[in-house]
């Protein structure tokens, strides 16, 4: 059968996964009466809840006797490591662009990788029915982007389709016809995307996606570049330098047929398949026949920019809500995660009770923590810190800089520019983006962006859209002011009492409710001043036998601040931790005992003076 391999690449929320839904429906991948969930490719719970794609996934459809393998890629820069490798598997790409928003930073990031590999993309302008759509200007912006990314003349001569993925139609003209569905897109893929490239020689395949299956064990997905493979065949695995990692037998070969993975008896060159049975081979390794000694070239992965400490939970409430609390199970889980996610780097500390986890951004690390707490883990995590580098030639300290694009209403642009300049950002561009909105482009240090998302939403009344992308390592920009307020710290263990919380309201907003368990050193609220304050949240009302009408009314409390995981990570300071359990997210001081805490502070001050 003829083969075509394509990736759908776009910025987050531009409609990739919805388009794949419609492609599957219109190609006949589902039965007439089959019940299909919306965004069928977003298989894990967090993807469904957040409406974002975290893991890249493959599917396949048959159109006019040609099998089209389609890879749905993530749109967030934090999960960009997935995208870089996927592009090695495909021979063409559909660049999906929102008719109103135009090309965004993540589009630029993925398209630059696709053009560098020599792919000739198809541009699809999606959401053409948006009232604020501006398709003609967006096409010009896409052309300018391709030109800025050094596209060849061949790549600049890209075919264009307009349509609506949600309504299931694409056409050469903005007006339609709409009655042909996605047939014009399928036909253009067959015509424009070259057939799968096949090399001469024995079996070779580059591992691209790694998954764990409870029955089959480790499953590695990739495209077979030469030869063929059968079940029970003995193959070997080479790393990027060509060193042999292991030799083993293929227990099963699975191919994508619609949304299901079905076992097949022969995997042939050009097809995208999954292989089970090997225990050590991972992403970027070459799976090949025994006589082969030359590995396939693998894309180098962009370096991690943010690191966090994952620490064994040592609070007084440890082990009361989760069942996975020891350093051994946390270590095993983190190393298992790092096997499948090549953008994560895990290092053990010398005391073996904490681990340094580095990744692309705080969203990627927050997703990992959220996944772990749902699996029953309890742990404490530190504030995200950026990964610094030293310039080998000059010895100068370098820090990661990101390109930040913020779309905001004109009335709020002043406060955004002010806040970004406080965070040591350099403005590159300010231009109108339609509908009384401005597009602001900055180069900003990653340090300054940690925790800015929530503040931006407050400043712009929820109307701004911020997108970020790793730009480069540049010289250190200097100090950036952090949180100005101190915290309210519980001074005794017990259960919080409404009367005590009510009396403390003038000291600052609370983060806990009556009846919540607290312990010494736990953060219960934000202080209105700069210093930290120890408070008693257990103190009940003194009872007497004299009744008065005024005092017996029920206490009315101001609702507490809801601290989500991402908000907590951004809010805490360097001497504070977030305690994460399957049921709760608590904030605490790193050192719980107040006397010990004072000693540590004095030692730190003395070191700073010295």
Does residue 276 share a domain with residue 149?
no
Domain count of the chain? 4
User: Does residue 357 sit within a domain?
Assistant: no
Sign of CA dihedral 41, 280, 88, 191: negative
User: Does residue 582 sit within a domain?
Assistant: yes
Tell whether 371 is in a known binding site.
Answer: no
pLDDT > 90 in the chain, percent = 8
What's the domain range around 134?
A: 2-192
Q: What is the pLDDT of residues 520-545, one digit of tens each?
A: 999 999 998 888 899 998 887 777 66
Q: What is the pLDDT of residues 541-578, one digit of tens each?
A: 777 666 655 554 567 788 888 888 888 888 888 888 99
Cα–Cα dist 403/446, whole Å: 9
Average pLDDT estimate for 492-519: 90
Sign of CA dihedral 410, 415, 417, 420: negative
User: Does residue 463 sit within a domain?
Assistant: yes
User: Is the separation of the CB atoms in 231 and 285 below 8 Å?
Assistant: no
Tell whether 15 is in a known binding site.
Answer: yes
Does residue 157 share a domain with residue 15?
yes
Cα–Cα dist 365/371, whole Å: 10
**Per-residue pLDDT at 42:** 42
Cα–Cα dist 533/551, whole Å: 27
Cα–Cα dist 488/485, whole Å: 10
Cα–Cα dist 274/209, whole Å: 9
**Per-residue pLDDT at 172:** 87
User: Does residue 225 sit within a domain?
Assistant: yes
CA 317 to chain centre: 30
Does residue 167 share a domain with residue 76?
yes
- Count each helix (H run) and each strand (E run) in the chain, helices first: 15, 34
Structure tokens of 600?
Answer: 């540590």
Does residue 448 share a domain with residue 558?
no
Residue after which a domain boundary falls, among 192, 213, 240: 192
Tell whether 126 is in a known binding site.
Answer: yes
User: Does residue 344 sit within a domain?
Assistant: no
Residue after which a domain boundary falls, among 245, 262, 288: 288
Does residue 33 share a domain with residue 126?
yes
Q: Taking Cα atoms as reference points, which of 413, 344, 330 lies closest to residue 375?
A: 330
Cα–Cα dist 256/496, whole Å: 54
Average pLDDT estimate for 120-136: 86
Q: What is the pLDDT of residues 57-100, one digit of tens each?
A: 677 788 888 888 888 776 555 455 566 677 777 888 888 888 88
Range of 336-345, 372-381, 390-399 with top mean pLDDT = 372-381
CATH number of residue 222's parent domain: 2.40.30.10
Tell whether 16 is in a known binding site.
Answer: yes
Which residues pair with residue 223 across a beta bridge? Answer: 206, 272
Cα–Cα dist 378/582, whole Å: 7
Q: 587 pLDDT band (50/70/90 cuts)? A: very high
Q: 37 pLDDT band (50/70/90 cuts)? A: very low
Sign of CA dihedral 373, 377, 381, 385: negative
Q: Taking Cα atoms as reference points, which of 487, 521, 486 lies closest to residue 595?
A: 521
User: Does residue 163 sit within a domain?
Assistant: yes
Q: 488 pLDDT band (50/70/90 cuts)? A: very high
In sequence order, the 6+-apart residues with CB closer than 8 A to the CB of 73 are 7, 8, 9, 16, 53, 56, 82, 83, 86, 110
Q: Taking Cα atoms as reference points, which of 418, 410, 360, 277 lies closest to residue 74?
A: 360
User: Is the separation of the CB atoms in 88 and 206 below 8 Å?
Assistant: yes
Structure tokens of 76?
Answer: 């967030």
Does residue 544 share a domain with residue 511?
yes
Does residue 75 share a domain with residue 103?
yes
CATH number of residue 447's parent domain: 3.30.70.240
Tell whether 313 is in a known binding site.
Answer: no
CA distances from 91 to 20, 87, 193, 200, 456 (A): 18, 8, 7, 17, 40
10-14, 18-22, 477-481: the lowest-pLDDT one: 10-14
**Per-residue pLDDT at 32:** 43
**Per-residue pLDDT at 546:** 64
In sequence order, the 6+-apart residues with CB closer than 8 A to the CB of 30 are 24, 36, 258
Residue 321: Cβ-neighbour burial (10 angstroms; 0-12, 13-18, 19+): middle
Tell whether 314 is in a known binding site.
Answer: no
Mean pLDDT of all residues belonging to the chain: 81
Does residue 164 share a domain with residue 26?
yes
**Per-residue pLDDT at 43:** 45
Structure tokens of 599?
Answer: 């000693």
Kindly write down the DSSP assignment for every residue of 234-265, as one continuous string: EEEEE-TTS-EEEEEE--EEEEEEBTEEEE-S
3-state secondary structure (DSSP) of residue 185: helix
Cα–Cα dist 79/55, whole Å: 8
Does residue 435 share a domain with residue 500?
no
Does residue 588 share a domain with residue 565?
yes
Q: What is the pLDDT of residues 317-350, one digit of tens each?
A: 888 888 888 888 998 888 888 776 767 888 888 8
Which alpha helices (H) appear in 68-202, and where do they start and end?
A: 80-86, 105-116, 135-148, 153-156, 183-192
Structure tokens of 245?
Answer: 């990692």
Tell whether 128 is in a known binding site.
Answer: yes
Q: What are phi and psi of 257, to 5 degrees?
A: -130, 100
Does residue 176 share a domain with residue 52?
yes
3-state secondary structure (DSSP) of residue 46: helix
User: Does residue 372 sit within a domain?
Assistant: no
Residue after which a domain boundary falls, among 475, 508, 531: 475
User: Does residue 312 sit within a domain?
Assistant: no
Residue 377: Cβ-neighbour burial (10 angstroms; 0-12, 13-18, 19+): buried
Average pLDDT estimate for 233-247: 86
Residue 477: Cβ-neighbour burial (10 angstroms; 0-12, 13-18, 19+): middle
Cα–Cα dist 551/600, whole Å: 43
CATH number of residue 128's parent domain: 3.40.50.300
pLDDT of 431 > 80? The answer is yes
Structure tokens of 126?
Answer: 């999606």
CATH number of residue 511's parent domain: 2.40.50.250
Does residue 80 share a domain with residue 11?
yes
CA 452 to chain centre: 17
* Residue 299 C-beta-side C-alpha neighbours within 13 Å: 22
User: Is the separation of the CB atoms in 249 and 256 below 8 Å?
Assistant: no
Cα–Cα dist 92/79, whole Å: 21
């Amino acid at each position: 059968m003829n083969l075509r391999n394509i990736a759908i690449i776009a910025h987050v929320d531009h409609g990739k996964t919805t388009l794949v839904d419609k492609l599957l429906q219109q190609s006949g991948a589902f039965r007439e009466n089959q019940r299909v969930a919306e965004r069928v490719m977003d298989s894990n719970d967090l993807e469904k809840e957040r409406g974002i794609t975290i893991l890249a996934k493959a599917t396949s459809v048959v159109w006019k006797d040609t099998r089209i393998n389609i890879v749905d890629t993530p749109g967030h820069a934090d999960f960009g490591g997935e995208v870089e490798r996927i592009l090695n598997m495909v021979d063409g790409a559909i660049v999906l662009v929102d008719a109103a928003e135009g090309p965004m930073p993540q589009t630029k990031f993925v398209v630059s990788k696709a053009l560098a590999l020599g792919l000739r993309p198809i541009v699809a302008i999606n959401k053409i029915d948006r009232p604020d759509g501006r398709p003609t200007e967006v096409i010009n912006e896409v052309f300018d982007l391709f030109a800025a990314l050094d596209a060849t003349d061949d790549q600049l001569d890209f075919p264009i389709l307009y349509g609506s993925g949600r309504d299931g139609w694409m056409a050469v003209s903005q007006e339609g016809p709409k009655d042909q569905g996605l047939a014009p897109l399928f036909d253009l893929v067959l015509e424009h995307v070259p057939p799968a490239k096949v090399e001469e020689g024995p079996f070779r395949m580059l591992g691209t996606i790694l998954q764990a299956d409870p029955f089959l064990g480790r499953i590695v997905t990739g495209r077979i570049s030469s030869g063929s493979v059968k079940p029970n065949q003995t193959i070997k695995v080479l790393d990027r330098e060509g060193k042999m990692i292991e030799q083993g037998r293929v227990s099963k070969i699975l191919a994508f047929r619609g949304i299901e993975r079905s076992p097949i008896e022969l995997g042939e060159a050009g097809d995208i398949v999954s292989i089970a049975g090997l225990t050590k081979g991972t992403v970027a390794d070459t799976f090949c026949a025994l006589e082969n000694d030359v590995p396939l070239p693998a894309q180098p992965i962009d370096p991690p920019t943010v690191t966090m400490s994952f620490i064994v939970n040592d609070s007084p409430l440890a082990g009361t809500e989760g069942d996975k609390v020891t350093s051994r199970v946390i270590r095993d889980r983190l190393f298992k995660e790092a096997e499948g996610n090549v953008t994560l780097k895990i290092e053990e500390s010398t005391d073996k009770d904490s681990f340094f986890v580095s990744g692309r951004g705080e969203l990627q690390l927050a997703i990992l923590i959220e996944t772990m707490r749902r699996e029953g883990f309890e742990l404490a995590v530190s504030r995200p810190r950026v990964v610094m580098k030293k310039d080998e030639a000059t010895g100068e300290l370098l820090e990661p800089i990101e390109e930040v694009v913020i779309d905001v209403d004109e009335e709020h642009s002043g406060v955004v520019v002010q806040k970004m300049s406080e965070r040591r950002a350099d403005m590159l561009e300010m231009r109108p983006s339609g509908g009384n909105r401005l597009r602001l482009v900055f180069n900003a240090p990653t340090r300054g962006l940690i925790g800015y998302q929530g503040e931006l939403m407050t400043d712009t009344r929820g109307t701004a859209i911020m997108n970020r992308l790793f730009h480069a390592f540049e010289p250190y920009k200097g100090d950036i002011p952090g949180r100005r307020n101190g915290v309210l710290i519980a001074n005794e263990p017990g259960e919080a009492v409404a009367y005590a919380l009510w009396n403390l309201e003038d000291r600052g907003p609370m983060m806990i409710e009556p009846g919540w368990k607290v312990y010494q050193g736990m953060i219960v609220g934000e202080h209105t001043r700069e210093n930290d304050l120890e408070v008693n949240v257990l103190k009940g009302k003194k009872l007497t036998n004299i009744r008065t009408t005024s005092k017996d009314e029920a206490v009315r409390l101001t609702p507490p601040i809801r601290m989500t995981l991402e908000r907590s990570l951004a809010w805490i300071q360097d001497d504070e931790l977030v305690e994460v359990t399957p049921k709760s997210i608590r904030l605490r001081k790193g050192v719980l005992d107040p006397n010990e805490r004072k000693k540590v502070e004095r030692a730190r001050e003395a070191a700073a003076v010295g």
